[in-house]
Amino acid sequence: MYQNLKAKSHKTPNSIAETEMHALFFDAADQMFVLCDDQLTILYVNQTTCDKFKVKKELLVGRNISEFGLDPVENARIELYQSALLSGKPITLDVNITHPELSHLYTRIKAVKSGNNIALFITDITELKLMRDEHKFLTNLAASEIKHPLTRLMYLTNEALKSDIVNQEGKNYFKEINREMINLDGTLHHVMDVTGTTLQNVVFQTVDLDNVLENVLLMFSMNPSVEEVEFQREVNIQNEFISDVNAIFYVLYELIENAIFFRKPKEFKPLVKVKFVEKEENFVLTVQDNGIGIAPQKLDNLFVFKTEMESKPKMIGFGLFTVYKLVNKLNGVIKVKSKPRKGTTIDIYLPKINS
């Protein structure tokens, strides 16, 4: 409906009135709004956008979005906008915009197909970003403050276990205490990793998946308990895979860790397959195992963070909850197939972005 905003003379009086009415509507809106054609040339900008960036409409309309950023990260975002136009599926991105007067302006942009054009709904999340950074800082500070005495306690319990003064019954207690402290230490590391990974902005770049997978498997190879697990891998792509390398690393690590943790008892040969292939419209990352599987009633809440109370508190779903959040940030989709005692297959569909 906005394709001919500049050529009003070719419209009927009714269509002119309709266009002006829509322009008035978006100009009065609190949210920033930009309309682009299929080549990402700006057709319309509402007044809120102009006021926020302190620029006149005539300096924006008619220019291409690519003129406002030539770095690889911005180019990757432009490809995402175009993919939203082709697929018809809306995408949401967090974008850090550098402005000469406003310094850094953190925005959340939702790109939606509108006829043959693409509409960008832009929200200023600068205050939210500052709150997230503060949350990240406080979380890491609290974890560090807890970790210092925890490390000291772990040292003391290890010394007690080596001591001849402590009898066997006492050593059994110290073993249990030490085991729980190791679990707590792992949880603290996990919280710090998750906080850093989920709160940071997505950075698009070429990802060498073979290298990422090699580093993930290297971490597991240091654990003697997974020596019995057979790993199979296949990477079959023709084009560059552009995504956020840290997010992809974390997703792979969590999915493989779950596949290892929920393997069948030792009499079965544990197998974990990782496959990454290129389809016509997207890339597909698959992690498959022959483990204990997932009960059908649990599949719907698989990516929900929760706690369970058994003989002692146990936190579950933390890693998968984070995987779900990260895949959403990458504009991907997760699909899960599983049968009890047969194993689980998790497919992650990630968009194609041309460099």
Tens digits of pLDDT across the chain (355 residues)? 333 333 333 334 443 444 455 556 666 677 899 988 888 899 889 888 888 888 888 888 899 887 775 455 566 778 888 888 888 888 888 777 766 655 567 888 888 888 888 989 988 888 777 776 776 666 667 776 777 787 788 788 888 888 888 888 888 888 888 888 877 776 676 666 666 665 566 777 889 999 899 888 887 776 666 778 889 999 999 888 988 888 898 899 889 988 988 888 765 788 999 999 999 889 999 999 999 998 888 887 787 755 443 434 344 446 788 888 889 888 899 999 998 888 999 999 998 875 4
**What stretches of the chain show up as alpha helix (H) in DSSP?**
13-28, 47-53, 72-87, 126-162, 168-199, 209-221, 245-261, 296-299, 318-329
Is the same domain home to 101 and 218? Answer: no
Q: Which two tokens stand for residue 176?
A: 């249990």
* Parallel, antiparallel or unpaired: strands 230-236 and 271-278: parallel
CATH number of the domain within which 300 lies: 3.30.565.10
Is the same domain home to 166 and 75? Answer: no
Closest to 91 measured CA to CA, from 354, 305, 355, 350: 350
Is the same domain home to 55 and 143? Answer: no
Angle between helices 318-329 and 168-199 (to 10 degrees): 10
- How far apart, in whole angstroms, are the C-alpha atoms of residue 237 and residue 103? 40
Q: Is 101 part of any domain? A: yes
pLDDT for 173 equals: 86
Amino acid sitting at position 173: Y
pLDDT for 310 equals: 41
- Is 234:275 a contact under the CB 8 Å cutoff? yes
Q: Is 119 part of any domain? A: yes
Is the same domain home to 120 and 50? Answer: yes
- How far apart, in whole angstroms, are the C-alpha atoms of residue 220 and residue 52? 49
Phi, psi of 165 (to 5 degrees): -75, -35
The contacts of residue 14 (CB under 8 Å, 6+ apart) are none
CATH number of the domain within which 74 lies: 3.30.450.20
Is the same domain home to 176 and 42? Answer: no
Q: Is 3 part of any domain? A: no
Q: How many residues does the chain have?
A: 355
pLDDT for 14 equals: 43
- Give the total number of structural domains in the chain: 3
pLDDT for 325 equals: 84
Q: Domain ends where: 142, 170, 200? A: 200
Q: Is 81 part of any domain? A: yes
pLDDT for 350 equals: 93
Q: Is 310 part of any domain? A: yes
Q: Domain ends where: 150, 177, 200? A: 200
Q: Is 103 part of any domain? A: yes
Q: Domain ends where: 165, 184, 200? A: 200
Boundaries of domain holding 84: 8-124
Residue with tokens 């990477």: 235
Is the same domain home to 78 and 131? Answer: no
Is the same domain home to 75 and 224? Answer: no
Is the same domain home to 164 and 107? Answer: no
Q: Is 219 part of any domain? A: yes
CA angle 344, 261, 189 (to 5 degrees): 120
Is the same domain home to 99 and 158? Answer: no
Is the same domain home to 244 and 285? Answer: yes
Is the same domain home to 165 and 226? Answer: no
- Is 345:255 a contact under the CB 8 Å cutoff? no
Q: Which two tokens stand for residue 237?
A: 């792509």
Alpha-carbon separation of residue 271 from 234, 266, 268, 295, 340 (angstroms):
14, 12, 9, 19, 16
Is the same domain home to 273 and 342? Answer: yes
- How far apart, in whole angstroms, are the C-alpha atoms of residue 310 and residue 305? 17
Number of helices (H) and strands (E) in the chain: give both, helices first. 9, 14
Q: Is 106 part of any domain? A: yes
